[in-house]
Amino acid sequence: MQKHLDVRALTPPQRGRTWLAMCWSGALGIVAVTSTALAWGQPPAPGQAVDAPAPLRQVNPEPIWPGMNNSGSVTLPNGWSLKPAGVQIVLGDFPVMIAPHPTANLLAVQHAGYGEHEIMLIDTKTNRKVSGAVISTSFAGIVWSGDGRHLFVSGGFDDVVHRFDFDGRDALTNRTTLTYPDRTRRVPGGMAITSQGETLAVANVFGHSVALFNLNDEGGTIRAEIPLGEETYPYTTLFDEPRGRLYVSLWGGAKVVAIDLNTAKVVGEFTTQEHPNEMLMSQDGQLLYVANANRNTVSVVELGSGRTIETISTAIAPNTPPGCNPGSLALDATGSVLYVANANTNDLAVINVETPGRSRPLGFVPTGWYPTAVRLSNDGQTLYVTNGKGGSSRANRNGPNPLVPGRDPTREYIGKLFPGTLSILPTPTPQTLPELTKTALANCPLRTPRVERVPGGPIPLKVGDPSPIKYCVYIIKENRTYDQVFGDIPEGNGDPDLCLFPEEITPNHHALAREFVLLDNFYVESEVSADGHEWTMGAYATDFVERIWPLGYRGDRRVPYPAEGAFEIAFPAGGYLWDKAAEKGVTYRSYGEFVTLDGEPKVKSLIGHFDPKFPTYNLNITDVRRANRFLEELKEFEAEGNDLPRLITMRLPNDHTAGTRPGAPTVQAMVADNDLALGMVVEGLSRSRFWKELAIFVVEDDAQNGSDHVDAHRTVALVIGPYVKRRVVDSTMYSTSSMLRTIELILGLDPMSQFDAAATPMDRSFTAEPDFTPYTLRPARVDLDARNTETAWGAATSLKLNLDEEDQADDLLFNEIIWKAVKGADSPMPPPVRAAFVLPRE
């Protein structure tokens, strides 16, 4: 029989004793706690002896930590490495495109990230910035006129096109704008200009159209605007003047359309793979090359017949799932060698395309982090590559500090902490390319795994092998670093001074880490929730998500939240975890993840596979209430003799907190609510009949710029179950993709992307000798009814922050509010650290 307990009337000591006495009297005796029934523990009396827990045992005494290694490369937390070829020039925030001047020794580099949007002019003789121009907002779109006298640049969500004059030496002057007749969120993107400079074609990314501007008119009026269909998201344009055509790649349509320039109508289309973006034509004008960013491919279209005669793979290893994210193309001076920038795998694919339809891979060139554009010098002797996230991250000891007046509080915000770079290197030759390829292969764990697998354990060595674990429960929380929660555990690599939520606030987190495995070298691949939930459920964030989230996170309310089912174009080609379960006939159910506030699924694969009564992200609902709802269904699964879904995903978001918003639960109360709910779920599962074949995985969707002395990507992660080792520290370098790969191997699912395919499974955290001892819930030790007052530090600011959706508030400011709410108004928040990627200073 289900029991309900409201302990609000009890004193704190009584609450703790009553809770412990009533918990789990039998396998089905689930204690359902109302959303305000909040248990407190009783601290030891002064002088009372307390048994110290036995120390934890380290299972990996020689772990790999992120950072510079002996080979001179930088190991990223996901196990991939960087060792870019050539000279590296530091640029601004997130360079997205390069436009070489047609005659001068200059490159125009466009930036469109979280930080300042600008155009930089780089002198290719000196490799130095010589001038530039700042614009309020931009998107990937830049082109010189054929005579080099004008530069046109996208104005992004401002819905304008900027036109600059070039002074003939090294400066942009006389800025004017080309405007649309109305403002309907077109978002101009990729551009092309006719050879005589009379027409500018602009892809309207969110307007699902293409505009033809008449440049002979002084004001640059629109000659025609051609609709391309709903959800097409045109990315860029390319003129084919001999045929009187304009080609437009449809980012959301998996095709390229041809527009007749005389009639301004679509007259044909070419099928590609997902997310076609940059295009270029062969030197003889007979072939069109199209990069497909949501696959590992380039489509080759024969323009005469309209047939796709070849699909070129750009992956560094054969038969790999999606993940390369090819997004930029360049042809050498002979037209026989194609260079493809693989953004996500940090390399250029070099391909011989001399014989149409019979391309041959030649090798790879290692680049910096997230190469966004590749171009050749006018003489064909030099390659230029913009790396959107640079060559590394870095420590930011000069980050936000409220005690230093005048310091920009967003100067070292995580969204703009990765200064982009420009790689400059000689065009590879048959003599140099083999060594470059060798370096690129060494950077990729698909070819050279970082950690040897552990045979004989419960984690299968390959998909399809048996496992004694049948069920996986995957719990996603919101926005905490390792040090914020576990910094006080002495056996781990923690900093107690950065610990905001120690054992007194998170007794269940601490008990689970101690009784099972403490993971102190675990990282998220994401920066924020927009890419965080994509990585958490898909082991990948598409180029659409990567391009859009920085624009919205810089505070522009016109930019939509791009992830979590909001746009179909954001869906990864390899699918989400639920899609992989459906492919293999594995039962699954979601509790709150990718579900709307109205209780509707955000992706098709969740139709009929989610609990409509389980609340998704809503800080007005306690996580204890969410736990109670899950435990109700767990009771039904047991009582009716039904089998538990083999894959369960669950969202427990309240460790996000509401800051110090007056009337809302305090920061400590919300984190403690999250802790209690997690303990309830784990105890309920551990006392169910499914426990003997169960594994529970817990992770934050992102670490959200919090303080951590190792790196701000390091996060709270837990693995729990009978086949999980007891009382150990596992310092193996894992990431969210490692957790996903472990789940996939247990359930027999194929990887979704190259990142879970290459990730290190969590073998060292598991054992072949099970321990079926159930978990005992720890009651809360702080008052979960505690509320913020109007005098709390940051209360007025918290009222202004948008907390109705995750990550809609300035997370640097929000983290400072949380810090001071715990540590006191006079305590300066330490800046977040990026030391995991530190490179030697020059």
Confidence band of 703 (pLDDT split at 50, 70, 90)? confident
Amino acid at 764: R
Cα distance between residue 732 and residue 522, in whole Å: 8
User: Average pLDDT, stretch 682-706?
Assistant: 93
Q: Which pLDDT score, from 0 to 100, does residue 411 have?
A: 42
673: left (phi over 0), alpha (psi -120 to 50) or beta: alpha
Q: How far is CA 357 from CA 191, 309, 310, 340, 704, in A?
A: 28, 6, 5, 17, 46
Cα distance between residue 742 and residue 558, in whole Å: 39
Neighbours of 406 (CB within 10 A): 4
DSSP secondary-structure letter at 393? Answer: -
User: Average pLDDT, stretch 119-131?
Assistant: 95
Across-strand partners of 68? Answer: 74
Confidence band of 831 (pLDDT split at 50, 70, 90)? low
pTM here?
0.88
Cα distance between residue 595 and residue 626, in whole Å: 14
Element (H, E) at 544: helix 543-553
Task: Write out the DSSP string of 496-542.
Answer: GGG-SS-TTT-HHHHHHHHHSEEESSEE-S-SSHHHHHHHHHHS---
Q: Which pLDDT score, from 0 to 100, does residue 818 have?
A: 63
Task: Write out the DSSP string of 788-803.
Answer: --TTSTTHHHHHHS--
Across-strand partners of 471? Answer: 694
Q: Which pLDDT score, from 0 to 100, does residue 825 have?
A: 66
In terms of Cβ atoms closer than 10 Å to its own Cβ (0-12, 13-18, 19+), residue 612 is exposed
Residue 13 has pLDDT above 80, yes or no: no
Closest CA to 454 of 118, 745, 182: 745
User: Average pLDDT, stretch 34-38?
Assistant: 38
Count CA atoms closer than 13 A to 322's CA, side-chain side.
23
Q: Which pLDDT score, from 0 to 100, does residue 386 have?
A: 97
Contact 665, 821 (CB under 8 A): no
Q: Which pLDDT score, from 0 to 100, does residue 6 have?
A: 35
Q: How far is CA 198 from CA 88, 143, 294, 636, in A?
A: 37, 14, 34, 70
Q: How far is CA 633 from CA 34, 438, 618, in A?
A: 16, 53, 20
Arithmetic mean of pLDDT over the chain: 86
The pair phi, psi for residue 438, each rounded to 5°, is -60, -45
Confidence band of 12 (pLDDT split at 50, 70, 90)? very low
Q: Which pLDDT score, from 0 to 100, does residue 46 have?
A: 40
pLDDT tens digits, one per residue of 338-390: 999 999 999 999 999 999 999 999 999 999 999 999 999 999 999 999 999 88
Residue 609 corresponds to which tokens in the numbers above? Answer: 């596979």
**Structural domains in the chain, sorted by start:** 3-43+450-536+571-823 (3.40.720.10)
Q: How far is CA 281 from CA 187, 385, 467, 751, in A?
A: 25, 20, 51, 34
